[in-house]
Structure 1
Amino acid sequence: MATGRATVLVEPNKLETWDVPVVDPEPGGALVRIVVGGVCGSDVHITTGEAGIMPFPIILGHEGIGRVEKLGGIETDYAGVPVKPGDLVYWSPIAACHRCYTCNVLNETPCDNSRFFEHAEKPNWGSYADYAWLPNGLAFFKLPDGADPLAVAALGCALPTVLRGFDRCGPVKMGEAVVVQGAGPVGLSAILVAAQAGARDVIVIDGVDQRLEVARSLGATATISLKDSPEERKRKIYDITGPGGPSLVVEAAGVLPAFPEGVDLTGPHGRYVILGLWGAIGTQPISPRDMTTKNLTIAGATFPRPKHYYEAMHLAARLQDEVPLASLVTHRFSIEDAGRALDAVHKGEVIKAVIDPEHAAA
């Protein structure tokens, strides 16, 4: 039987490269050869154990673009678009059951029986690998003709997450003032969407100058450094927005102290959307009275639905010649060097890192 390489997390902080079987697709499924697998900040939290105990051993990676090798008796993707071997596809990494209350009544993700990972010895859709096996029911979409895989991969699951957040909490309004906490992939995605939606101000806070420069290239109108004190950051933001403050603040920092600061920054009658704190387990003090007196809406969002991956793919493809999306991929790593990739993401040394199965190991 043919085999392919895969990065396997055996236990927290223990990565191994395995040779795993390449299995034909099941009816309704697909087998794809990975072209690029995005390295996400949540992969770091999963690897360290900060995100909780996983069903070890698992193949890492939930952001993938691949070329179809074989199809399990199907002729279209999950949007009804014809698909054939050789086509590039992008997939939603959550295997929902489609037979539970959450799937069929709430129409939400994740569902009651969602599978985020499969045991590494079983057919698998992890993207730090040569191949991904997409089971029946795991939605995938054909890339539009001419789409640059790197432009789609650049914002990985971050852009679907942002679209999910605005879907749940209300879209960016024309002319409103937006603050984004953090300029990692989630923050950059929020900046891109806000700018495209016609926000008047798109103000981003981050501590890395290179990220702030990239934020401007995607549409940020002002940048503020974390080197400033929280009080100085707020003063600068309100100098820009006026006394009403920002009407929308997006948490994309992934660190707990961002939460009380975001509540404080949000202007009266504004919205605060929590997107980056998925892996940071803990608590932070806030004053509930501030939420009441400012009439705030605070909401979280995670686990995008398949439609958000579809929307993100098409948005990236449409903007790839106008906005430098592909250039956000600053580092490529081999499957064998996944540990180095995760370390680089953890240290903030990259804008976007990807696993490239054809990249030579260091």
Structure 2
Amino acid sequence: MKAKAAILEEFKKPLVIRYVDIPPLLEGGILVKMVSSGICGSDIHMVDGEDPRVPVPIILGHEGVGEIVEINGDKRDLNGEILKKGDLIIWNRGVVCGECYFCKVLKMPYLCENRKIYGINRSFKEYPHLSGAFAEFIILEEKTEILRLSPNTDPNVIVMAGCSGATAVHAIDALEDNLLDKTVVVQGGGPLGIFALSLAKFQGAKNTILITGSSFRKEIAEKIGIDMILDRNTSAEERLNKILDITYGRGADVVIEATGTNKAVPEGLRFLRKGGTYIIAGVASPQEKVPIDFYEVSSKNITIKGVWVSDAEHFKKAVSFVEKHQDLFATLITHKISLDEINYGLDLVRERKAGKVVITY
């Protein structure tokens, strides 16, 4: 039995469609037929060789929903339900060891020293080969954290919960206080930014503000009820003044970087009020360094917090949130493509001509 897969064989080159053998399952392994996978902005950095975690050749794709074809042994999902053939499932993209210092002592499994990530750091050369979501089938190993989905769940919508959704939950959970009556600014109108603002809005934020230069992302933000949308193509002073105008001259309580670029950070810090919090959630690959005015940081008593990926708790919360608000998140999907169109989909994301691009099988 063979599976069609899109393989990154060389950095900065198009993915190549190959038909590869499906190997036998090891104890605890699960063979899944893909139903939907999502293209993430970080996939572009991986294709371009900017993410040091990525080996080649590799099957990329770390956002996936699929149907169980075969299970070697017994397996339960995060709710304790027994999984069986035919179940529609979504899985946590990271597999942690549960034994290292960060897993066991600090209780921060997202920092696991041995973390394996589907579609990111698992070489096609190594078993089980089918370790990414850009393929007709994927093989999940025994320690994978899984959630069984309701048959009423739209796989094309829920797929975004596995990465941008879970990371956004982590960003909101990292705050020391709730968001009631707060002003939250998000830099970047991709799925991560939209998801973070949606969470802020549903948690009672008084003002939700998005900064984006994309016209169709503005339309998406308007549809989901974001309070203010600031055009990235205006001047930095214009954007700052509009934030000051609605915060009585103080600035935002929380600013979340969801652009994926270091260059957004200096401006984001300026948006904050004294005592505010800046969350860096989108920067997922090494980049050119940017200057920071640390006098501004200290004199305003700013908290800067990095947010790296997510764990099982964030993943489960994100899936639950999207399941409850499927109509809301369906507005983020601008393109549905086939696996054969994968390079077209990557180009759409690279050129910021899409909201969420989903591959259907």
Per the normalisation by structure 2, the TM-score is 0.94
SS of residue paired to 2:201: helix
Distance (Å, rounded) in 2 between the aligned partners of 1:288 and 1:155 = 35
- Once the two structures are TM-superposed, the CA of residue 337 in structure 1 deviates from its matched residue by 2.1
Alignment CA distance shift 1:136-1:148 (3 Å):
same
Partner of 2:273: 267
Structure 1: stretches of 5+ with no match in the other structure: 358-362
- Once the two structures are TM-superposed, the CA of residue 156 in structure 1 deviates from its matched residue by 4.6
- Once the two structures are TM-superposed, the CA of residue 171 in structure 1 deviates from its matched residue by 5.6
Alignment CA distance shift 1:223-1:155 (3 Å):
farther
Distance (Å, rounded) in 1 between the aligned partners of 2:318 and 2:151 = 15
Distance (Å, rounded) in 2 between the aligned partners of 1:185 and 1:81 = 29
SS of residue paired to 1:81: coil
Is 1:38 the counterpart of 2:38? The answer is yes
- Once the two structures are TM-superposed, the CA of residue 115 in structure 1 deviates from its matched residue by 1.9
Distance (Å, rounded) in 1 between the aligned partners of 2:142 and 2:26 = 7
Is 1:72 the counterpart of 2:54? The answer is no
SS of residue paired to 1:284: coil
Amino acid at match of 1:182: G
SS of residue paired to 2:20: strand
- Per mean C-alpha deviation after superposition, the further-off stretch among 79-88 and 124-133 is 79-88
Q: What does 1:278-317 align with in structure 2 at a 5 Å threshold? A: 278-279=284-285, 281-317=287-323
Q: Which of 257, 268, 282 is residue 276 of structure 1 equivalent to? A: 282
8 A Cα contact 2:211 2:230, kept in partner? yes
SS of residue paired to 1:106: coil
Is 1:347 the counterpart of 2:347? The answer is no
SS of residue paired to 2:116: coil
* CA distances 1:199-244 after superposition (whole Å, capped 9, x unpaired): 0000111001210121122231011101210011100111122212
Alignment CA distance shift 1:172-1:282 (3 Å):
farther
Distance (Å, rounded) in 1 between the aligned partners of 2:326 and 2:172 = 22
Distance (Å, rounded) in 1 between the aligned partners of 2:149 and 2:177 = 25
SS of residue paired to 1:8: strand
Partner of 2:11: 12
Distance (Å, rounded) in 1 between the aligned partners of 2:82 and 2:71 = 12
8 A Cα contact 1:7 1:18, kept in partner? yes
Partner of 2:58: 58
Alignment CA distance shift 1:155-1:171 (3 Å):
farther
8 A Cα contact 1:177 1:202, kept in partner? yes
* CA distances 1:174-193 after superposition (whole Å, capped 9, x unpaired): 11011111110110011110
Partner of 2:153: 147
Is 1:334 the counterpart of 2:335? The answer is no
* CA distances 1:58-115 after superposition (whole Å, capped 9, x unpaired): 1010000001111121142133123211111111111222232222112221311122
Q: What does 1:108-147 align with in structure 2 at a 5 Å threshold? A: 108=108, 109-116=110-117, 117-121=121-125, 122-123=127-128, 124-147=130-153
* CA distances 1:292-320 after superposition (whole Å, capped 9, x unpaired): 11111100112211221111111101112
8 A Cα contact 2:74 2:82, kept in partner? no
Amino acid at match of 1:356: T
8 A Cα contact 1:255 1:280, kept in partner? no
8 A Cα contact 1:24 1:70, kept in partner? no
Alignment CA distance shift 1:171-1:337 (3 Å):
farther
Distance (Å, rounded) in 1 between the aligned partners of 2:107 and 2:343 = 36
In the alignment of these two chains, the number of paired residues is: 354
Q: Which of 198, 208, 231 is residue 202 of structure 1 equivalent to? A: 208
Structure 2: stretches of 5+ with no match in the other structure: none
Per the normalisation by structure 1, the TM-score is 0.93
SS of residue paired to 2:52: coil
Alignment CA distance shift 1:290-1:100 (3 Å):
same
Distance (Å, rounded) in 2 between the aligned partners of 1:49 and 1:104 = 32
Distance (Å, rounded) in 2 between the aligned partners of 1:27 and 1:98 = 19
Distance (Å, rounded) in 2 between the aligned partners of 1:31 and 1:78 = 18
* CA distances 1:324-357 after superposition (whole Å, capped 9, x unpaired): x123221122222211111110001111001223
Distance (Å, rounded) in 1 between the aligned partners of 2:17 and 2:2 = 12
Q: CA RMSD in A?
A: 1.6
Alignment CA distance shift 1:349-1:156 (3 Å):
farther
Alignment CA distance shift 1:305-1:156 (3 Å):
closer
Distance (Å, rounded) in 2 between the aligned partners of 1:186 and 1:93 = 16
Partner of 1:227: 233
SS of residue paired to 1:247: strand
